[in-house]
Amino acid sequence: MQMTFYFSDTVVLLFDFWSVHSPTGMVLSVLVILLLSVLYEAVKMGKAVLLRRALLALPRSLSHEALTEPQEEEQSDPAQGRWFWFHVAQTLFHVLQVVLGYMVMLAVMSYNAWIFLGAIAGSTLGYFMVYPLLGRG
């Protein structure tokens, strides 16, 4: 296995069935990695927007006792239920972000320079497209 960056149109990415042996296959593979990088940036920003919404959903007076003691159903605060679902959504976004991040990282570890450039371009493009949406959330 090559351990330095090289330009080639042959590479095996992530799985044995993702074996590239032609320039067309390399272009498509770079495009897939670019899209995975864009999606990674979108999930990262989505997680930040969700965090802001979760913090806004927290009740004004939040104490340790209020979180640890079970409350009766008629006295339960709907804001705490909303906060819980925001937390579940953030957890799912985090798992998706980790999976996408590792997939892109392992693709870059093929040491193919075209794949590396696709990951960098996708991350740059994703950040450029999604960052303005952070202020709107």
List, in order, residues 6 or more apart from 113 with CB less than 8 Å away. Answer: 5, 6, 7
pTM of the model: 0.79
Task: State residue 125's pLDDT score.
Answer: 97
- Let me know the angle formed at the C-alpha of 55 by 50 and 60, rounded to the nearest 5 degrees: 155
Task: State residue 82's pLDDT score.
Answer: 76
β-bridge mates for residue 6, sequence order: 112
List pLDDT tens digits, range 47-102.
Answer: 988 888 877 777 666 555 555 666 555 455 666 677 788 888 899 999 999 999 99
List pLDDT tens digits, range 13-59.
Answer: 988 898 999 999 999 999 999 999 999 999 999 898 888 887 777 76
Q: What are phi and psi of 3, to 5 degrees?
A: -115, 15
Task: State residue 72's pLDDT score.
Answer: 56
- Strand 19-20 and strand 11-12: the pairing is antiparallel
- Let me know the angle formed at the C-alpha of 125 by 33 and 34, rounded to the nearest 5 degrees: 5
